């Protein structure tokens, strides 16, 4: 899955253009400090894109690390575009 016009980020001074492929559905397991319990979130679509974008920050990566360097606007026929 990917965003039709590519992604951007406030952490990047000069936006890099291109498609950022990611999973349509993800399962996030985490700990809710306020509830004092483990939680599981299933995110789909745009919500999944946001989670993956922010997880990249936590791992020290930015969205442009996922853009195809030789063909930034290349898309595969089976990708979902939102």
Q: What residues are annotated to the active site? A: 54
φ and ψ at 46, to 5 degrees?
-60, -40
φ and ψ at 31, to 5 degrees?
-120, 125
Pair type for strands 37-44 and 25-32: antiparallel
């Amino acid at each position: 899955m990917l965003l039709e016009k590519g992604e951007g980020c406030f952490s990047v001074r000069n936006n890099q253009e291109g498609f950022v492929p990611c999973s349509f559905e993800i399962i996030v397991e985490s700990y809710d400090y306020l509830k004092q319990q483990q939680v599981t979130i299933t995110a789909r679509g745009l919500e999944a894109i946001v989670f993956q974008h922010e997880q990249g920050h936590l791992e020290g990566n930015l969205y442009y690390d996922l853009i195809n360097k030789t063909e930034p606007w290349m898309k595969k026929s089976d990708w979902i575009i939102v």
